[in-house]
Protein backbone atom coordinates (compact mmCIF):
# COMPACT_ATOMS: atom_id res chain seq x y z
CA UNK A 1 0.00 0.00 0.00
CA UNK A 2 1.51 3.31 -1.07
CA UNK A 3 1.02 6.63 0.62
CA UNK A 4 -0.27 9.66 -1.35
CA UNK A 5 1.26 13.11 -0.91
CA UNK A 6 -1.03 15.51 0.85
CA UNK A 7 -3.17 17.72 -1.40
CA UNK A 8 -2.16 21.41 -1.53
CA UNK A 9 -4.45 23.70 0.37
CA UNK A 10 -7.02 25.56 -1.79
CA UNK A 11 -5.82 28.96 -3.03
CA UNK A 12 -8.06 32.01 -2.51
CA UNK A 13 -9.61 33.42 -5.70
CA UNK A 14 -7.87 36.54 -7.12
CA UNK A 15 -10.17 39.55 -7.56
CA UNK A 16 -10.72 40.56 -11.20
CA UNK A 17 -8.83 43.68 -12.27
CA UNK A 18 -11.14 46.71 -12.25
CA UNK A 19 -11.80 48.24 -15.68
CA UNK A 20 -10.71 51.92 -15.78
CA UNK A 21 -13.31 54.54 -16.52
CA UNK A 22 -12.93 57.78 -18.47
CA UNK A 23 -11.77 60.65 -16.27
CA UNK A 24 -14.39 62.91 -17.85
CA UNK A 25 -17.18 60.33 -18.17
CA UNK A 26 -17.03 58.00 -15.15
CA UNK A 27 -19.87 55.86 -16.53
CA UNK A 28 -17.81 54.82 -19.57
CA UNK A 29 -15.23 52.04 -19.29
CA UNK A 30 -12.06 52.28 -21.36
CA UNK A 31 -8.57 50.82 -21.62
CA UNK A 32 -7.23 53.72 -23.71
CA UNK A 33 -5.05 56.31 -21.97
CA UNK A 34 -3.89 59.78 -22.98
CA UNK A 35 -0.36 59.67 -24.38
CA UNK A 36 0.64 62.77 -22.40
CA UNK A 37 -1.04 62.58 -18.99
CA UNK A 38 -1.95 58.84 -19.08
CA UNK A 39 -5.48 59.43 -17.85
CA UNK A 40 -8.07 57.00 -19.22
CA UNK A 41 -10.19 58.47 -22.02
CA UNK A 42 -13.32 57.20 -23.75
CA UNK A 43 -13.96 57.49 -27.52
CA UNK A 44 -15.77 60.82 -27.02
CA UNK A 45 -12.65 62.30 -25.41
CA UNK A 46 -10.03 60.83 -27.76
CA UNK A 47 -8.17 63.35 -29.89
CA UNK A 48 -5.86 62.10 -32.64
CA UNK A 49 -2.18 62.72 -31.92
CA UNK A 50 1.05 61.91 -33.72
CA UNK A 51 1.13 58.66 -31.73
CA UNK A 52 -2.07 57.33 -30.18
CA UNK A 53 -4.63 59.66 -28.63
CA UNK A 54 -4.66 62.62 -26.26
CA UNK A 55 -7.32 64.04 -23.96
CA UNK A 56 -8.97 67.41 -24.71
CA UNK A 57 -7.04 69.23 -21.96
CA UNK A 58 -3.65 68.09 -23.25
CA UNK A 59 -4.60 69.06 -26.82
CA UNK A 60 -5.69 72.53 -25.66
CA UNK A 61 -2.49 72.93 -23.66
CA UNK A 62 -0.43 72.02 -26.71
CA UNK A 63 -2.32 74.40 -28.97
CA UNK A 64 -1.60 77.33 -26.66
CA UNK A 65 2.02 77.08 -27.60
CA UNK A 66 1.32 77.16 -31.35
CA UNK A 67 1.40 80.55 -33.02
CA UNK A 68 -1.86 81.19 -34.88
CA UNK A 69 -1.57 81.89 -38.59
CA UNK A 70 -2.27 85.45 -39.71
CA UNK A 71 -3.11 87.09 -43.00
CA UNK A 72 -0.59 89.22 -44.88
CA UNK A 73 -1.35 92.30 -42.80
CA UNK A 74 -2.23 90.81 -39.44
CA UNK A 75 -5.86 89.72 -39.76
CA UNK A 76 -7.26 86.25 -39.35
CA UNK A 77 -6.62 83.82 -42.19
CA UNK A 78 -9.45 83.98 -44.75
CA UNK A 79 -10.20 80.84 -46.71
CA UNK A 80 -13.56 81.96 -48.08
CA UNK A 81 -14.21 85.72 -48.56
CA UNK A 82 -17.61 85.68 -46.86
CA UNK A 83 -17.74 89.46 -46.44
CA UNK A 84 -17.31 90.11 -50.16
CA UNK A 85 -20.03 87.60 -51.00
CA UNK A 86 -22.34 89.01 -48.32
CA UNK A 87 -21.99 92.54 -49.73
CA UNK A 88 -22.73 91.26 -53.21
CA UNK A 89 -25.86 89.49 -51.97
CA UNK A 90 -27.05 92.60 -50.10
CA UNK A 91 -26.52 94.74 -53.19
CA UNK A 92 -28.49 92.36 -55.39
CA UNK A 93 -31.33 92.02 -52.86
CA UNK A 94 -31.65 95.78 -52.44
CA UNK A 95 -31.49 96.26 -56.20
CA UNK A 96 -34.44 93.90 -56.51
CA UNK A 97 -36.26 95.76 -53.75
CA UNK A 98 -35.62 99.06 -55.53
CA UNK A 99 -36.99 97.69 -58.77
CA UNK A 100 -40.06 96.05 -57.22
CA UNK A 101 -41.07 99.01 -55.04
CA UNK A 102 -40.93 101.56 -57.83
CA UNK A 103 -38.32 103.74 -56.14
CA UNK A 104 -39.70 103.60 -52.59
CA UNK A 105 -36.56 101.90 -51.24
CA UNK A 106 -34.37 104.24 -53.27
CA UNK A 107 -35.99 107.36 -51.83
CA UNK A 108 -35.79 105.97 -48.30
CA UNK A 109 -32.07 105.07 -48.40
CA UNK A 110 -30.39 107.30 -51.01
CA UNK A 111 -27.92 109.99 -50.02
CA UNK A 112 -28.74 113.67 -50.34
CA UNK A 113 -27.18 116.37 -48.13
CA UNK A 114 -30.40 118.11 -47.14
CA UNK A 115 -31.92 114.94 -45.68
CA UNK A 116 -28.74 114.22 -43.73
CA UNK A 117 -28.50 117.70 -42.27
CA UNK A 118 -32.13 118.77 -41.89
CA UNK A 119 -33.77 115.44 -41.10
CA UNK A 120 -30.81 113.99 -39.16
CA UNK A 121 -30.88 110.91 -41.40
CA UNK A 122 -27.17 110.17 -41.14
CA UNK A 123 -27.70 106.53 -42.05
CA UNK A 124 -28.05 107.65 -45.67
CA UNK A 125 -24.30 108.24 -45.76
CA UNK A 126 -23.86 104.44 -45.68
CA UNK A 127 -27.10 102.99 -47.05
CA UNK A 128 -26.71 104.86 -50.35
CA UNK A 129 -23.63 102.71 -51.05
CA UNK A 130 -25.85 99.61 -51.28
CA UNK A 131 -28.22 101.08 -53.89
CA UNK A 132 -27.90 101.26 -57.67
CA UNK A 133 -29.57 102.86 -60.67
CA UNK A 134 -32.56 100.81 -61.85
CA UNK A 135 -33.29 102.82 -64.99
CA UNK A 136 -32.49 101.53 -68.45
CA UNK A 137 -32.89 98.10 -70.01
CA UNK A 138 -29.45 96.92 -68.85
CA UNK A 139 -28.45 97.37 -65.18
CA UNK A 140 -24.95 98.59 -66.03
CA UNK A 141 -24.43 100.32 -62.69
CA UNK A 142 -24.81 97.28 -60.45
CA UNK A 143 -23.14 94.97 -62.97
CA UNK A 144 -19.96 97.02 -63.05
CA UNK A 145 -19.78 97.51 -59.29
CA UNK A 146 -20.53 93.84 -58.63
CA UNK A 147 -17.88 92.74 -61.09
CA UNK A 148 -15.29 95.08 -59.56
CA UNK A 149 -16.12 93.93 -56.03
CA UNK A 150 -16.00 90.28 -57.07
CA UNK A 151 -12.55 90.74 -58.62
CA UNK A 152 -10.90 93.00 -56.04
CA UNK A 153 -12.78 92.18 -52.83
CA UNK A 154 -11.53 88.61 -52.19
CA UNK A 155 -7.89 89.64 -52.64
CA UNK A 156 -8.14 92.48 -50.11
CA UNK A 157 -10.25 90.41 -47.72
CA UNK A 158 -7.57 87.72 -47.68
CA UNK A 159 -4.85 90.35 -47.26
CA UNK A 160 -6.48 92.20 -44.35
CA UNK A 161 -8.89 89.68 -42.83
CA UNK A 162 -12.66 89.93 -42.50
CA UNK A 163 -12.93 92.77 -39.97
CA UNK A 164 -10.32 95.04 -41.51
CA UNK A 165 -11.87 94.55 -44.93
CA UNK A 166 -15.33 95.47 -43.62
CA UNK A 167 -13.86 98.64 -42.13
CA UNK A 168 -12.05 99.49 -45.38
CA UNK A 169 -15.17 99.01 -47.49
CA UNK A 170 -17.61 100.91 -45.29
CA UNK A 171 -15.25 103.77 -44.49
CA UNK A 172 -14.44 104.18 -48.18
CA UNK A 173 -18.18 104.36 -48.89
CA UNK A 174 -18.55 106.90 -46.07
CA UNK A 175 -15.68 108.96 -47.47
CA UNK A 176 -17.44 109.21 -50.82
CA UNK A 177 -20.68 110.30 -49.17
CA UNK A 178 -18.92 112.87 -46.99
CA UNK A 179 -17.31 114.56 -49.98
CA UNK A 180 -20.74 114.62 -51.63
CA UNK A 181 -22.18 116.16 -48.47
CA UNK A 182 -19.65 118.98 -48.75
CA UNK A 183 -19.61 119.64 -52.49
CA UNK A 184 -22.92 118.44 -53.96
CA UNK A 185 -26.01 120.63 -54.03
CA UNK A 186 -28.15 120.22 -50.89
CA UNK A 187 -30.95 118.58 -52.88
CA UNK A 188 -28.66 116.42 -55.06
CA UNK A 189 -29.40 112.70 -54.54
CA UNK A 190 -26.70 110.08 -55.06
CA UNK A 191 -26.63 106.28 -54.90
CA UNK A 192 -24.16 103.53 -55.67
CA UNK A 193 -21.30 101.43 -54.34
CA UNK A 194 -18.82 103.19 -56.62
CA UNK A 195 -17.29 105.18 -53.77
CA UNK A 196 -16.53 101.99 -51.85
CA UNK A 197 -15.27 100.29 -55.03
CA UNK A 198 -12.94 103.20 -55.81
CA UNK A 199 -11.71 102.91 -52.23
CA UNK A 200 -10.87 99.26 -52.85
CA UNK A 201 -9.06 100.24 -56.06
CA UNK A 202 -6.91 102.70 -54.10
CA UNK A 203 -6.27 100.16 -51.34
CA UNK A 204 -5.20 97.41 -53.73
CA UNK A 205 -2.81 99.87 -55.38
CA UNK A 206 -1.02 100.66 -52.11
CA UNK A 207 -1.08 97.00 -51.04
CA UNK A 208 0.59 96.06 -54.31
CA UNK A 209 3.23 98.72 -53.78
CA UNK A 210 3.78 97.52 -50.23
CA UNK A 211 4.38 93.97 -51.51
CA UNK A 212 6.62 95.17 -54.38
CA UNK A 213 4.17 93.92 -57.00
CA UNK A 214 3.49 95.31 -60.47
CA UNK A 215 0.65 97.82 -59.94
CA UNK A 216 0.48 99.22 -63.46
CA UNK A 217 -2.67 97.24 -64.21
CA UNK A 218 -4.69 98.65 -61.31
CA UNK A 219 -3.27 102.13 -62.03
CA UNK A 220 -4.67 101.90 -65.56
CA UNK A 221 -8.04 100.72 -64.22
CA UNK A 222 -8.19 103.69 -61.83
CA UNK A 223 -7.21 106.13 -64.58
CA UNK A 224 -9.81 104.81 -67.03
CA UNK A 225 -12.57 104.97 -64.44
CA UNK A 226 -11.59 108.52 -63.48
CA UNK A 227 -11.89 109.51 -67.14
CA UNK A 228 -15.37 107.97 -67.27
CA UNK A 229 -16.25 109.81 -64.07
CA UNK A 230 -15.63 113.24 -65.56
CA UNK A 231 -16.57 112.57 -69.20
CA UNK A 232 -19.99 111.00 -68.80
CA UNK A 233 -22.89 112.83 -67.20
CA UNK A 234 -24.93 111.50 -64.32
CA UNK A 235 -21.91 110.13 -62.44
CA UNK A 236 -21.15 111.35 -58.92
CA UNK A 237 -17.54 112.47 -59.12
CA UNK A 238 -17.60 113.38 -55.44
CA UNK A 239 -18.48 109.81 -54.48
CA UNK A 240 -15.72 108.38 -56.66
CA UNK A 241 -13.01 110.81 -55.59
CA UNK A 242 -14.01 110.75 -51.93
CA UNK A 243 -13.99 106.95 -51.87
CA UNK A 244 -10.68 106.77 -53.73
CA UNK A 245 -8.93 109.18 -51.36
CA UNK A 246 -10.35 107.52 -48.25
CA UNK A 247 -9.63 103.95 -49.35
CA UNK A 248 -6.11 104.81 -50.49
CA UNK A 249 -5.18 106.54 -47.24
CA UNK A 250 -6.77 103.95 -44.97
CA UNK A 251 -5.34 101.08 -47.01
CA UNK A 252 -1.89 102.65 -46.79
CA UNK A 253 -2.23 103.13 -43.03
CA UNK A 254 -3.10 99.47 -42.54
CA UNK A 255 -0.60 98.09 -45.06
CA UNK A 256 2.33 100.14 -43.73
CA UNK A 257 1.48 99.78 -40.04
CA UNK A 258 4.56 98.78 -38.00
CA UNK A 259 4.86 95.04 -37.39
CA UNK A 260 5.18 95.66 -33.68
CA UNK A 261 1.68 96.24 -32.29
CA UNK A 262 0.36 96.08 -35.85
CA UNK A 263 -3.25 95.48 -34.83
CA UNK A 264 -3.14 98.44 -32.46
CA UNK A 265 -1.86 100.80 -35.14
CA UNK A 266 -4.41 99.54 -37.64
CA UNK A 267 -7.19 99.97 -35.11
CA UNK A 268 -6.06 103.53 -34.42
CA UNK A 269 -6.07 104.24 -38.17
CA UNK A 270 -9.63 102.97 -38.50
CA UNK A 271 -10.86 104.90 -35.47
CA UNK A 272 -9.01 108.02 -36.61
CA UNK A 273 -10.57 107.86 -40.08
CA UNK A 274 -14.04 107.45 -38.60
CA UNK A 275 -13.49 110.33 -36.19
CA UNK A 276 -12.26 112.67 -38.94
CA UNK A 277 -15.19 111.83 -41.21
CA UNK A 278 -17.63 112.27 -38.32
CA UNK A 279 -16.25 115.74 -37.62
CA UNK A 280 -16.57 116.66 -41.29
CA UNK A 281 -20.19 115.46 -41.31
CA UNK A 282 -21.10 117.46 -38.21
CA UNK A 283 -19.43 120.65 -39.48
CA UNK A 284 -21.06 120.46 -42.90
CA UNK A 285 -24.48 119.52 -41.52
CA UNK A 286 -24.33 122.53 -39.21
CA UNK A 287 -23.47 124.80 -42.13
CA UNK A 288 -26.40 123.47 -44.19
CA UNK A 289 -28.76 123.99 -41.29
CA UNK A 290 -27.50 127.53 -40.77
CA UNK A 291 -28.09 128.36 -44.43
CA UNK A 292 -31.55 126.80 -44.55
Active site residue 240: yes
At residue 23, the 3 state secondary structure works out as coil
Burial code (b: 16+ CB inside 10 Å, e: under 16) for 171-199 equals: bbbbbbbbbbbbebeeeebbbbbbbbbbb
Say if residues 266 and 74 touch (Cβ distance below 8 Å).
yes
- Which residue in 146, 172, 194, 236 is the catalytic one? 194
- Sequence-ordered list of residues with C-beta below 8 angstroms from that of 239, at least 6 positions apart, any chain: 176, 177, 179, 180, 190, 192, 194, 195, 198
Question: Catalytic residue at 172?
Answer: no
DSSP label at residue 14: P
DSSP strand pairing (47-48 vs 53-54): antiparallel
Distances (CA, A) of 106 to 76, 127, 170, 224: 35, 10, 19, 28
Q: Which of 132, 240, 263, 286 is catalytic?
A: 240
Element (H, E) at 249: helix 237-255
Looking at the DSSP bridge assignments, the partners of residue 29 are 21
Q: Which residues are catalytic?
A: 194, 240
Amino acid sequence: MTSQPPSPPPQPEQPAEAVPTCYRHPDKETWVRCQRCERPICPDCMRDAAVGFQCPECVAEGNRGIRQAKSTFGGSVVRTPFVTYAILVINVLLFGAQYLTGGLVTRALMMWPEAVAVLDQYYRLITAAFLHDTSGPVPVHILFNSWALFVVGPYLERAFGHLRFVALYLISALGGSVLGLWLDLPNQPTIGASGAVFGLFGAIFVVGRRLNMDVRGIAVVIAINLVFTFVFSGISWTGHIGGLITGTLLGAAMAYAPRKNQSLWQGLAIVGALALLAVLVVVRASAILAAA
